[in-house]
Structure 1
Amino acid sequence: MSEQAEQAARKTGREARRVADSRWFETTARAGFVGSGIVHLLIGYLAILLGIGGSSSGHETDQSGALQQIAAVPGGVVLLWVVAVGCAALTIRLAVEAIVGGRSDSARAWAGRLKNAGKAIVYGVIAYSAASYAVGAGKSSSGSTRSAAAKTLATPGGVFVLLLAAGVAIAIGVGLVVIGCRRSYRKDLVPPPRELSRVVTVLAVVGYVLKGIAVVIVGVLIAVAAFRSDPNQATGLDGAFDALRSTPGGDVVLVAIGVGFLAFGVYSFFRARYARL
């Protein structure tokens, strides 16, 4: 890269950082945590309903099912746009941090950038999905997963690609469990007041650990689909919850995971206030 191009890139990075650090942009980005919290609360509610033998009213017990629930209530479209805009702003903020964040080229700095890039993808998916449901073009996430798995299996080396995806999902799930157990999420938060600290800790630990277990199950199902060459086995949270329900004692585990998603949802509201941005 020439010196002129490098200077232009640095200037663009500074401008992007300046916008991302502005007060109004930070406020909008914090709304992304609120949107994520609402989605997690609804997923937890649907999972608990399924676990106690109820029905989910024809909705999937995952992100798409939660967004369907929002779209179905009066004023739901407005709320979907709030979720979409907030998560989109948070996505941009995290992407800027991933690209121009960090003050060194150390391994820790690069790990932080990768972490922010991963978070940007997660919130970007929520933003896109919420906007899709807001305009009436939302799709079943489980159906999309099965379709993607079928296309992958039909390509040379598709089994290995699915196994890689399974490995990534399992690694993410284990990572969430580790974050909860080690309480390493605290470095991303401004310390809350002492009277709230215990509440935030309980919500975060329960939420991270049980959500992580759910993501690990998703990864296992993707691996099963690869080994059996059966795309129908590759599903998202909805399929993972159904698989749990069909196992001995699975209803209890499903309710526990639902409680975990509820806890993570409430914790997300605290993140909207105390997250370091």
Structure 2
Amino acid sequence: MRRTVRVIARCGYVAKGVVFLIIGVLASLAATGLGGNNVGTKEAITHLASQPFGGLMLALLSLGLLAYAVWRLLQALIDTENLGLGMRALGARLGFLISSGIYISLALYSFNLLRNAATGNTSPTDRTAELMSHPGGVYLVFAVGVGFACVGLRQMWRAIMRSYLENWRMVEMSATQRRLAEAATRWGLSARGVVFMIIGGFLCVAAVRTDPSEAQGLGGALNVLARQPFGPWLLGTVALGLVAYAVYCFVNARFRNVDP
């Protein structure tokens, strides 16, 4: 059982890293004017499918994303992190459950794309409008925005406090590996935190103005950075940070303690 869980978790972290690597590389190319584009997770998966051997890579990615969703579900249900049942712990486990749902959605999108039947690639505006159409939907959108902003702050807090070290098997890492892994992780978590805070801010604005068009996803958040003063520099810094976050995922695949 433990060996199976380890394989599931490590494959999942690799797949997640591949997605963020594509997003970061494309955004880096856009920042330097070399033809890239600012994309979200589904667009990154679609980009992979269009490459040589895209079908094979997409099949492997689909399985990896499904593995990551299963790993998140296990973290939530059997408490692989030994968090307990306190309020803070239950909040973290709820976050794992939500993350599992998100990656199941991405895995299904990948499988459908593999069958040339990808559907539901709706924009953030469409999803926000759908939520707002329900009773209390505006408040729900605002709550989701606050949630994104809180996740972004937590990512930056983890980078500052270096709490990720608690999950790594440090005895298996050389001094050089640890230094490089820490540098990539702190940059990656900070960049992802910035992006999540931007997404959360725009969702809150969309709720306050009751205007779904204000909502932005990951690609939209990167476009927002690009339009600011010194935009290419800002975008380039965050884009390379997303590449660094991919490295962090690969480090987790190799050195994270994933024993249940």
State the TM-score, normalized to the length of structure 2.
0.88
CA–CA distance in structure 2, aligned partners of residues 64 and 157 of structure 1 = 28
Give the secondary structure class of the aligned counterpart of 1:251. helix
Partner of 1:83: 61
Output the aligned Cα RMSD: 2.3
Cα distance per residue 1:228-260 (max 9 Å; x no partner): 222122120111122222222222111111000
Moved more, 164-173 or 91-100: 91-100
Partner of 1:207: 188
What does 1:39-58 align with in structure 2 at a 5 Å threshold?
A: 39-56=19-36
Q: Of the two structures, which has the highest relative contact order with CA contacts closer than 8 Å and spacing of 6 or more?
A: 2
Partner of 2:240: 259
Give the secondary structure class of the aligned counterpart of 1:276. coil
Amino acid at match of 2:161: R
Change (3 A) 1:188 1:136: farther
Identify unmatched segments of 5+ residues in structure 1: 1-17
Count residues with an aligned counterpart.
Answer: 254
TM-fit CA distance, 1:174: 0.8
Amino acid at match of 1:90: Y
CA–CA distance in structure 1, aligned partners of residues 22 and 69 of structure 2 = 21
TM-fit CA distance, 1:158: 2.5
Change (3 A) 1:187 1:89: same
TM-fit CA distance, 1:95: 1.3
* Contact 1:31/1:83, CA 8 A, preserved across alignment: no
What does 1:176-191 align with in structure 2 at a 5 Å threshold?
A: 176-191=155-170
* Contact 2:38/2:222, CA 8 A, preserved across alignment: no
Q: Which runs of 4+ in 1 moved over 4 A?
A: 106-109
TM-fit CA distance, 1:88: 1.5
Change (3 A) 1:113 1:241: closer
Give the secondary structure class of the aligned counterpart of 1:74. coil
Q: From 180, 198, 208, give the equivalent of 2:179.
A: 198
Cα distance per residue 1:173-192 (max 9 Å; x no partner): 11111111111111122112
Cα distance per residue 1:189-232 (max 9 Å; x no partner): 21122231000000100000011101111111112222222212
Q: From 97, 100, 104, give the equivalent of 1:120.
A: 100
* Contact 2:159/2:189, CA 8 A, preserved across alignment: yes
Identity over aligned pairs, percent: 26
Give 1 or 2 for the bigger CA radius of gyration.
1
Q: From 50, 62, 68, give the equivalent of 1:72.
A: 50
CA–CA distance in structure 2, aligned partners of residues 137 and 163 of structure 1 = 32
Partner of 2:78: 100
TM-fit CA distance, 1:161: 1.5
Partner of 2:40: 62
* Contact 1:203/1:264, CA 8 A, preserved across alignment: yes
Partner of 2:131: 152
State the TM-score, normalized to the length of structure 1.
0.83
TM-fit CA distance, 1:150: 1.3
Identify unmatched segments of 5+ residues in structure 2: none
* Contact 1:29/1:87, CA 8 A, preserved across alignment: no
* Contact 1:203/1:263, CA 8 A, preserved across alignment: yes
CA–CA distance in structure 1, aligned partners of residues 89 and 224 of structure 2 = 39
